């Protein structure tokens, strides 16, 4: 059994009129979620709230073998846990789009999502969009997710230099999100955990203004998750706080 302690925080930042970020933790499933509602959509705040409120039910159906008399898909299909987590997100997205077609508030609304599950000293991650998961081990921060945005595709195609990324307008154009048609497929992965590891889930309002060395320094100097979250948000706001800021820090 892998024992963890965690904390999460979300902050409006210094330039937004409302906070469209959400985070959630389900201790029974060791499940952690960050969702960032897309500002240009109809109601990103609603979309992010539905992700964090409802996704744990989908994860339970896919990862727990006998919840409410059902057999989890991991056992039925031979899916790995990261694949099952990705399938849970897919199923949520299908139902979210169906709901959005019947409710004007949700029509056109969308959000990112990054979800992480810890089971038996193993971390599974699945995501859509540009909210990220990181592993902090021995003072080094490793990003476990790949941003689903146009900028990342342009960089990988050699059409944009990494040095110009911070100023490029394509950085805010998502290529995958929860309301996408046709259905967007989450990326999923897994990593074995070691004692002393820390996990950071966050929205782009954090990492877009606080560089990697600063993130590493904050995590190294604040061993208590709640203190680390507070320091991360403060750093983003001190850097201008242009967007909503959300972070979950998990100690293994």
pLDDT, one tens digit per residue, over 125-152 is 999 999 999 999 999 999 999 999 876 6
Give a yes or no: residue 95 inside a domain: yes
160 with 154: CB under 8 angstroms?
yes
Q: What is the pLDDT of residues 189-220, one digit of tens each?
A: 999 999 999 999 999 999 999 999 999 999 99
CA 138 remoteness from chain centre: 23
The pTM score is: 0.90
Give a yes or no: residue 184 inside a domain: yes
**For range 163-169, the mean pLDDT:** 58
Lowest mean pLDDT among 28-32, 43-47, 71-75, 165-169: 71-75
Residue 105 scores a pLDDT above 80: yes
Contacting residues for 202 by C-beta, under 8 A, at least 6 apart: 34, 131, 132, 134, 232, 245, 246, 247, 248
How many other C-beta atoms lie within 10 A of the C-beta of residue 180? 17
Assess whether the previous peptide bond of 182 is cis (omega < 30° from 0): yes
Q: Is 83 helix (H, G, I), strand (E, B) or coil?
A: helix
Give a yes or no: residue 68 inside a domain: no
Give a yes or no: residue 74 inside a domain: no
Question: For the purposes of burial, counting CB atoms within 10 Å of the CB of 244, is it exposed (0-12), middle (13-18) or buried (19 or more)?
Answer: buried
Q: What 8-state DSSP symbol labels residue 159?
A: S
* Structure confidence at residue 107 as a pLDDT band (50, 70, 90): confident
DSSP for 209-226, please give it: TS-HHHHHHHHHH--SHH
Find, among 55, 35, 58, the residue nearest to 45 by Cα. Answer: 35
Contacting residues for 6 by C-beta, under 8 A, at least 6 apart: 25, 32, 225, 248, 249, 250, 251
Give a yes or no: residue 73 inside a domain: no
Domain of residue 132, CATH code: 3.60.40.10
Is the model more confident about 155 or about 120?
120
Give a yes or no: residue 71 inside a domain: no
Domain that holds residue 12: 5-63+80-251
**Whole-angstrom distance, CA of residue 229 vs CA of residue 100:** 33
List beta partners, residue 174. Answer: 149
Give a yes or no: residue 126 inside a domain: yes
Residue 240 scores a pLDDT above 90: yes
**Whole-angstrom distance, CA of residue 74 vs CA of residue 111:** 26
Give a yes or no: residue 243 inside a domain: yes
For residue 79, what pLDDT is reported? 83
Domain count, the chain: 1
């Amino acid at each position: 059994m892998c024992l963890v302690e965690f904390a999460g925080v979300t902050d409006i930042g210094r330039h937004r009129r409302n906070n469209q970020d959400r985070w959630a933790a389900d201790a029974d499933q060791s499940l952690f979620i960050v969702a960032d509602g897309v500002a240009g959509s109809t109601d990103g705040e609603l979309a992010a709230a539905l992700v964090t409120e409802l996704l744990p039910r989908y994860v339970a159906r896919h990862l727990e073998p006998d919840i409410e008399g059902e057999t989890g898909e991991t056992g039925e299909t031979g899916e790995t846990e990261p694949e099952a987590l990705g399938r849970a997100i897919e199923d949520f997205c299908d139902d979210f789009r169906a709901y959005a077609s019947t409710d004007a508030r949700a029509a056109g609304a969308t959000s990112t999502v990054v979800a992480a599950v810890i089971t038996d000293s193993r971390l599974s991650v699945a995501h859509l969009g540009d909210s990220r998961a990181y592993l902090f081990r021995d003072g080094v921060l490793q990003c476990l997710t790949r941003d689903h945005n146009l900028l990342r595709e342009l960089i990988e195609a050699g059409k944009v230099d990494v040095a110009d990324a911070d100023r490029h307008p394509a950085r805010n154009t998502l290529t995958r999100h929860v309301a996408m048609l046709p259905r967007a497929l989450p990326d999923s992965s897994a990593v074995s955990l070691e004692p002393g590891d820390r996990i950071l889930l966050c929205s782009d309002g954090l990492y877009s203004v606080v560089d990697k060395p600063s993130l590493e320094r904050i995590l190294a100097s604040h061993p208590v998750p709640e203190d680390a979250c507070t320091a991360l948000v403060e750093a983003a706001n001190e850097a201008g706080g242009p967007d909503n800021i959300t972070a979950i820090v998990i100690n293994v």
